[in-house]
């Protein structure tokens, strides 16, 4: 395969990028390594133009500089020095925040030349990430060409998916990566807009079920916990939906969760792995294994001191380098997930490396409902309510009894009487909208939020002693 150096072409067209992505899908291990080096060199050359990386890269041979020689970056440092991290000085944090404050602009270009999405703040720090057109074209091409379909003949006869009805179920009122990408594609491709709809996970479950029953999508894209919720509704006879495929991402998908969804909905589950820092990090092959798009993104599995861990050993965290985005270079960015690099090549034949991921693994909370049925409160929905509506990012929400919730407030959280009342009110209103009754919500200051054995914070915690409708 002839290598096409990304840098030598400048910022190529979407068509050229799509050709590269397609031709590289079956690249050898050596070819992938060569592509990584070429694109890393180009990224470092661009990063030299930012104040954030100028000193670290000055006078270095970028073609041979080891990635491990560069500093580790995280979200807090990025946001503190945002103006130093972008290569376009006209893109300011104030302009991005003003843009993201308007939900009507979701999926539209910001300042006419970039796309912006906000992270959920799961690490205790919200972030804003900007992408240029070339980076977005890379993400689009990876999603379009590398996602394995359980219905290859359907894709052969209908490559554009004109016969599909696509449903995205998630947080749709903020500038999050998934909804921005969906709405951007709907605006760019009118044929897609006619057979694609977005549904909020923040609405009452009964309303969501009714809307999906009316629409009858053939493909549902959502979070694993939301897929489990829909599967449970179907198992109880309240959701009459038989999609062909369910696409999941954004949380950890366990074997038990996958089996529950596939059995109750009668659909094949296809999982993926992504982040705000790079949307399509990995795709699931026909053998059910996640393959990293290593020609466009570099993942380093490291220990607590950011030293590499060998294949087959679970990392403490993961450092990500985005080779596609030259507008906001993200180099050795700590994304907080624990991964395990596969030691052997996958039986599917792809040379792209295999990983296992332990990302978000919050619990679903099951509480009493007004109609006698248990009500499930999804962890991403609860987090979104606290982050987006209450402005709270340092917290842990615990279920301590059938009707009892305890909200622990981290040392960085506003803890005035007014703030605490607001947290309790917003949680109570959300739970009541889902059909929950009689909840008792308490707030408590915590000097430090309790971390799990992995060293990561679990933000939504169900009590093991509370009766549950489903546990993964």
- Residue 166 domain-assigned (yes or no): yes
Domain boundary residue, one of 216, 248, 273: 273
CB–CB of 109/115 below 8 Å? yes
Who contacts 25 (Cβ-Cβ below 8 Å, separation ≥6)?
Answer: 145, 146, 350
Q: Are residues 285 and 324 in the same domain?
A: yes
Domain boundary residue, one of 334, 358, 382: 358
Q: Are residues 280 and 132 in the same domain?
A: yes
pLDDT, residue 69, reads 94
pLDDT, residue 159, reads 59
* Widest pairwise Cα distance in the chain: 69
**Distance in angstroms (rounded) separating the CA atoms of residues 215 and 296:** 36
Q: Are residues 265 and 308 in the same domain?
A: no
Q: Are residues 132 and 280 in the same domain?
A: yes
- Residue 207 domain-assigned (yes or no): yes
Q: Are residues 73 and 171 in the same domain?
A: no
Q: CATH number for the domain including 425?
A: 3.30.300
Q: Are residues 308 and 341 in the same domain?
A: yes
- Residue 8 domain-assigned (yes or no): no
pLDDT, residue 156, reads 52
- Residue 472 domain-assigned (yes or no): no
Q: Are residues 189 and 256 in the same domain?
A: yes
Q: Are residues 117 and 52 in the same domain?
A: yes
pLDDT, residue 269, reads 94
pLDDT, residue 65, reads 96
CB–CB of 392/426 below 8 Å? no
- Residue 470 domain-assigned (yes or no): no
Q: Are residues 384 and 353 in the same domain?
A: no
Which DSSP state fits 41?
H
Provide the strand spans (E) within 15-132.
115-118, 128-131
Q: Which of 437, 432, 425, 468 is nearest to 368 (CA)?
A: 437
pLDDT, residue 8, reads 37
pLDDT, residue 370, reads 84
CB–CB of 227/257 below 8 Å? yes
Q: Are residues 251 and 209 in the same domain?
A: yes
- Residue 6 domain-assigned (yes or no): no
Q: Are residues 208 and 267 in the same domain?
A: yes
pLDDT, residue 1, reads 44
CB–CB of 270/251 below 8 Å? no
pLDDT, residue 129, reads 95
**Distance in angstroms (rounded) separating the CA atoms of residues 364 and 342:** 30
pLDDT, residue 387, reads 81
408 CB-side CA count, 13 A: 18
Q: CATH number for the domain including 325?
A: 3.40.50.12780
pLDDT, residue 109, reads 94
**Distance in angstroms (rounded) separating the CA atoms of residues 377 and 191:** 35
Q: Are residues 343 and 390 in the same domain?
A: no
- Number of other CB atoms surrounding residue 129 within 10 Å: 27
Domain boundary residue, one of 323, 358, 393: 358
Written as one string, the DSSP assignment of 148-163 is: --S-HHHHHH-TT-TT
State the 10-residue block means of pLDDT for the chain, 472 residues long.
43 84 91 96 96 92 95 91 94 94 93 88 72 93 82 59 87 91 88 88 91 96 89 91 92 83 94 93 93 97 93 93 97 92 91 88 87 85 87 89 93 89 96 93 88 64 62 40
CB–CB of 363/452 below 8 Å? no
pLDDT, residue 139, reads 94
pLDDT, residue 120, reads 65
Residue 452: which domain range? Answer: 365-461
Residues facing 409 on adjacent strands: 395, 445
- Residue 121 domain-assigned (yes or no): yes
- Residue 7 domain-assigned (yes or no): no
- How far, in Å, are 35, 139, 195, 296, 450 from residue 10 at the CA level? 15, 18, 35, 16, 47
**End-to-end distance of the chain based on CA atoms, in angstroms?**
44
Number of folded domains in the chain? 3
Q: If DSSP codes are grouped into helix, strand and coil, which group holds residue 454?
A: coil
């Amino acid at each position: 395969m002839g290598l096409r150096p990304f840098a030598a072409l400048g910022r190529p067209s979407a068509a050229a990028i799509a050709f590269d992505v397609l031709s590289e899908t079956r690249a050898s291990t050596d070819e992938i390594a060569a592509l990584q080096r070429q694109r890393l060199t180009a990224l470092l050359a661009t990063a030299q133009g930012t104040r954030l990386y100028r000193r670290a890269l000055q006078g270095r041979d970028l073609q041979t500089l080891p990635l491990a020689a560069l500093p580790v970056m995280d979200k807090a440092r990025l946001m503190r020095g945002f103006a130093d991290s972008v290569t376009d000085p006209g893109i300011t944090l104030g302009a991005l925040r003003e843009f993201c404050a308007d939900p009507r602009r979701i999926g539209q270009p910001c300042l006419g030349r970039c796309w912006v999405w906000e992270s959920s703040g799961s690490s205790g720090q919200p972030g804003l990430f900007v992408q240029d057109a070339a980076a977005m074209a890379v993400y689009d091409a990876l999603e379009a060409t590398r996602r394995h379909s359980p219905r290859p003949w359907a894709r052969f006869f209908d490559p554009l998916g004109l016969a599909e009805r696509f449903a995205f179920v998630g947080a749709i009122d903020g500038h999050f990566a998934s909804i921005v990408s969906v709405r951007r594609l709907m605006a760019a491709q009118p044929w897609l807009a006619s057979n694609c709809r977005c549904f909020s996970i923040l609405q009452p479950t009964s309303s969501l079920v009714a809307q999906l029953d009316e629409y009858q999508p053939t493909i549902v894209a959502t979070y694993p916990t939301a897929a489990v919720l829909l599967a449970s509704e179907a198992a109880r006879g309240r959701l009459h939906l038989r999609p062909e495929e369910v696409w999941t991402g954004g949380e950890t998908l366990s074997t038990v969760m996958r089996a529950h969804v596939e059995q109750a909905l009668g659909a094949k589950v296809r999982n993926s792995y992504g982040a705000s820092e790079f949307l399509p990090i990995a795709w699931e092959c026909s053998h059910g294994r996640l393959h990293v798009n290593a020609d466009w993104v570099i993942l380093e599995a490291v220990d607590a001191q950011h030293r590499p861990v060998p294949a087959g050993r679970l990392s403490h965290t993961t450092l990500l380098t985005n080779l596609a985005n030259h507008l906001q270079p993200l180099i050795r960015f700590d994304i907080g997930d624990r991964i395990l690099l596969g030691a052997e090549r996958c039986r599917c034949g792809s040379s792209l490396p295999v990983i296992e991921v332990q990302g978000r693994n919050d619990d679903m909370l099951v509480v009493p409902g007004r109609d006698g049925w248990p009500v499930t409160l999804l962890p991403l929905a609860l987090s979104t309510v606290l982050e987006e509506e209450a402005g709270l990012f340092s917290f842990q929400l615990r279920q301590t009894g059938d009707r009892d919730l305890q909200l622990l407030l981290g040392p960085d959280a506003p803890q005035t009487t007014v703030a605490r009342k607001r947290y309790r009110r917003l949680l109570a209103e959300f739970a009541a909208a889902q059909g929950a009754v009689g909840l008792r919500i308490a707030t408590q200051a915590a000097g430090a939020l309790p971390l799990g054995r992995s060293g990561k914070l679990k933000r939504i915690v169900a009590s093991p002693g509370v009766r549950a409708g489903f546990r993964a």
